[in-house]
Structure 1
Amino acid sequence: MPFREIKVIAFDADDTLWVNEPLFRKAEDEFCELLQAYLPKDEANKLLFEVEMKNLPLYGYGIKPFTLSLIEAAIEISNNNTPIALIQKLIAKGKEMLDEPVELIDGIEDTLKQLNGDYKLVMATKGDLLDQERKLIKSGLESYFHHIEIVSDKTEKQYTKLVKHLDIAPNEFLMIGNSLKSDVLPVLNIGAHAIHIPFHTTWIHEMVEEEVKHPNFRSLSKATELFQYL
């Protein structure tokens, strides 16, 4: 059994426990529509992404940083002539995203129920603390988790710190998530295990070109397939 040593199973949150990325894609489309008088959609989307990447080291991940980037990109696209009404629409869009109901990924709650008791379960995610805590409460999944870890970014250093906090060896830790960049590669690099469950929409910043080949790695199509390895 490839995962026979596992004591702790950690789950990513966004697009692993609940739907997240489609909210951003919808907001991007609406942003481009609002700015179409200034710039074609593809160019507006490209500029928005560039602004997000520039702001990432300052603001981190999440809806609030995204909203700030929407406003900054609009100002740049309009050459500092963005109408106040448009700015207000972008702020309202950010608030709307924060207030969206949480939609669970199919099969995830049944998976957590079956794992609960046999393993310590952890939610390990990155992003805005307040927003992620709010979504966790809305999801109804909080009671399944032994520990909640919300960090500014997922790095080898952060995973090493988490494993140490859990008082286990790296080979006793399994991370499950939809991002190869954040949930798989840094985990494998510290000697732990990782499972990739792709989501149908992935932010371009989280995409990696390399094919992952590692004895501690598996790729599944849904969470319920996990049990064939445990």
Structure 2
Amino acid sequence: MALRMIGFDGDDTLWRSEDYFAQAQQTFEAIVAPYVELRGDALHERLYAVEKRNIAVFGYGVKGMALSMIETAIEITDARIAAADIHRIVQLAQSMLRHPVELLPGIREAVERVAARWPVVLITKGDLFHQEAKVRESGLADLFHRIEIVSEKDVATYARLLEEFGIDGADFAMVGNAMRSDIAPVIELGGHGVHIPYHLTWVHEREAQLADPSRLRTLENANALYDVLDEIERRMTATGT
């Protein structure tokens, strides 16, 4: 047995993303602060509750976050928030959508080295236009066998993609920072997960249970990625699993 394909996540695996969401949340809190007494964790929880219930409607990404911020602002201020402050939230989202792509340290070299041995695919979720722009600006697009921008990264999505790729789950490894969307579904399908934690992770992406923790590898950064994938393949060859 051998690895036949390696998947990569985009946001906070290849390039920075959550930093900008965290900064936007701080700005949002500053905008609504004059209207309410909520601060810190209490305000985080109100916004997250709205974001979570809106995922099925707005999906992931900046636009969904901005709409949820507007809805939260109206709710917690009893509709007292000024139109000018609503406009500031819209401008905040616009600035995030225009933010340049910043690759994480060592990621270009790591992807190039992996791609020289195995076919690699990019599987990322979020707003289609924004994700397409990130992929284009990253300069990494030519390295990937396929680029998939999906609305959700769950077991059903990965199963569909693996069928389209023509490979079994056991022959696939996924590299990403989010346990919920990058690692847990692939392991449930019998694949392998390489978790490279980012210093910031949205709480929604931390909620995950692993079907088989022995199929998980965790790295501090991408520098050792090739060696870990090589070790996974050698183990597969030796054990037949």
Structure 2 length normalisation: TM-score? 0.90
Structure 1 residue aligned with 2:23: 26
Q: Tell me if structure 2 keeps the 8 A contact 1:33–1:41.
A: no
CA offset digits 1:99-146 (Å, max 9, x no partner): 001110111100111122311110001111111011111111111111
Unaligned regions of 5+ residues in structure 1, if any?
A: none
Provide the rounded CA distance (Å) in 2 between the counterparts of 1:187 and 1:209: 12
Provide the rounded CA distance (Å) in 1 between the counterparts of 2:46 and 2:66: 14
Provide the rounded CA distance (Å) in 1 between the counterparts of 2:203 and 2:167: 33
Moved over 4 A (4+): 209-213
Structure 1 residue aligned with 2:5: 8
Q: Tell me if structure 2 keeps the 8 A contact 1:35–1:44.
A: no
Letter in 2 for 1:181: R
% identity of equivalent residues: 37
Structure 2 residue aligned with 1:88: 87
Structure 2 residue aligned with 1:37: 34
Quick one: structure 1 residues 182 and 17, their matched pair in 2 at CA, closer, same or farther if it must change by over 3 Å?
same
Unaligned regions of 5+ residues in structure 2, if any?
A: 231-241
Letter in 2 for 1:83: A
Q: Which has the higher helix share?
A: 2
Quick one: structure 1 residues 163 and 213, their matched pair in 2 at CA, closer, same or farther if it must change by over 3 Å?
closer
Provide the rounded CA distance (Å) in 1 between the counterparts of 2:211 and 2:225: 18
Provide the rounded CA distance (Å) in 2 between the counterparts of 1:212 and 1:191: 9
Written as runs of structure 1 = structure 2, the 5 A alignment for 1:88-167 is 88-167=87-166
Q: Tell me if structure 1 keeps the 8 A contact 2:179–2:208.
A: no
Written as runs of structure 1 = structure 2, the 5 A alignment for 1:170-185 is 170-185=169-184
CA RMSD in angstroms comes to 1.5
Q: Tell me if structure 2 keeps the 8 A contact 1:44–1:77.
A: no
Q: Tell me if structure 2 keeps the 8 A contact 1:173–1:192.
A: yes
Provide the rounded CA distance (Å) in 2 between the counterparts of 1:209 and 1:126: 17
Secondary structure of the residue that 2:198 maps to in structure 1? coil
Structure 1 residue aligned with 2:236: none
Following superposition, the deviation at residue 167 of structure 1 comes to 1.0
Quick one: structure 1 residues 26 and 212, their matched pair in 2 at CA, closer, same or farther if it must change by over 3 Å?
farther
Quick one: structure 1 residues 215 and 45, their matched pair in 2 at CA, closer, same or farther if it must change by over 3 Å?
closer
Secondary structure of the residue that 1:111 maps to in structure 2? helix
CA offset digits 1:64-111 (Å, max 9, x no partner): 010101111111121112111101100000000000011101111001
Secondary structure of the residue that 2:157 maps to in structure 1? helix
Quick one: structure 1 residues 204 and 143, their matched pair in 2 at CA, closer, same or farther if it must change by over 3 Å?
same
Which range moved further: 191-200 or 219-228?
219-228
Quick one: structure 1 residues 151 and 209, their matched pair in 2 at CA, closer, same or farther if it must change by over 3 Å?
closer
Q: Tell me if structure 2 keeps the 8 A contact 1:159–1:187.
A: yes
Q: Tell me if structure 1 keeps the 8 A contact 2:62–2:93.
A: yes
Structure 1 residue aligned with 2:67: 68
Provide the rounded CA distance (Å) in 1 between the counterparts of 2:156 and 2:34: 45
Quick one: structure 1 residues 126 and 209, their matched pair in 2 at CA, closer, same or farther if it must change by over 3 Å?
closer
